[in-house]
Amino acid sequence: MDNNHSEKDLVARARHCPEAFGLLYDQNYAAILNYCLRRTGDVELAQDLTAETFVKALKNIGRYEWRGSSFSAWLYRIAGNELTSYFRKGLHKAVSLEHLRESQGFEPSSPEELEDELIAAQEQLARQQEFLSCRQKISQLPPKYQEVIALRFFAGKSHQEIAEILAKPEGTVKSLLHRGLKKLRSFF
């Protein structure tokens, strides 16, 4: 409860206070980035989708209502929507982030460093062939099964947490997971 209470306060402050939002960002960036990475299998794309997720979170934090579910679950929901949108349209451009940077006149101090970092991460990912093989098979499932399986096995979420993120009853989540795994088995 204390954690919830403190997160609730932090979210309330984050609407007006950049430092508070910065704390929420630091707490959640890696989790969202790696979730996106495991869904897409592409570091640069995952980085873009993560950035879009946080830009949208920042823009909509005023409308975020604390209803018992965590701020993290809300971020996962935004990320899920971004991923769904990407998978549906087949291309992605970090429009919101670009707009934000243009309005600030922001230029990266060291573009080479940013690029090198992404290349290193991509090489690290390429070494995990077993994961990539699994991801490729999961990506052949219908999106509703992909999402629930990814949240369960790629993000390590419990049924209850998945239910919070997807705003679906826990029973529905279990059912989706059951059917998704049955379908996935045929690919192995």
Partner 1 sequence: MKMTGKPDYGKLQTKLENLELPEVQIPANQLRLRQTLLASACFKKEVTLLPVQQKIRARVFNVRPAAWTLVASLTILLLTLGTYRTFFTAPQAVASLTMQVNPAITMTISAGYKVITANGLDADGQALLAELDLSGQNVREALRIIADALREGGLLSPERRIIIAVHPVGDRLAATDLAALSGNVRRTIDEYLADHGLSLKVTNSELTAEFTEAAADAGLLPADYVDLVAAVGSPLAWQILNLYKELSISPVLFREKLDTITEAIIELMEEKGLNKQEALTMIKEAIKADPTLEGFNELHEIPDAPEEETNAVEDGESGKPDDVQSDHDAPDKYLNEKEESDRHKRDQLKPDAFNEDTAEGYESDKPARDESKPDASGEETTETEEDALQSGNELQKPADSSEEH
Nearest CB to partner 1, comparing residues 54 and 86: 54
* Distant-in-sequence, close-in-space partners of 128: CB < 8 Å, separation ≥ 6: none
- Out of 6, 9, 18, 142, the only residue in the binding site for partner 1 (CB under 8 A) is 18
φ, ψ for residue 91 (rounded to 5)? -150, 160
Stretch that binds partner 1, among 72-80, 121-129, 140-148, 165-173 (CB under 8 A): 121-129
- Give yes or no for residue 144 binding partner 1 (CB under 8 A): no
Stretch of residues binding partner 1 (CB under 8 A), selected from 36-44, 68-76, 81-89, 160-168? 36-44
By CB under 8 A, residue 102 contacts partner 1: no
Out of 67, 88, 89, 185, point to the residue binding partner 1 (CB under 8 A): 185
Cα–Cα distances (Å) from 91 to 16, 78, 82, 141, in that order, read 33, 17, 11, 19
Q: In whole angstroms, what is the distance from residue 82 CA to residue 139 CA?
A: 16
Tell me the residue type at 132. L
Long-range own/partner contacts, residues 122-130 (CB < 8 A, 24 or more apart): 122/42, 122/43, 122/44, 125/37, 125/41, 125/43
- 26 is a contact residue toward partner 1 (CB under 8 A): yes
* Residues at the site binding partner 1, with contacts judged by CB under 8 A: 15-19, 21-22, 25-26, 29-30, 33-34, 37-38, 43, 47, 50-51, 54-55, 58-59, 97, 100-101, 103-104, 106, 108, 110, 113-114, 117-118, 121, 124-125, 128, 130-131, 134, 149, 152-154, 158, 174, 177-178, 181-182, 184-185, 188
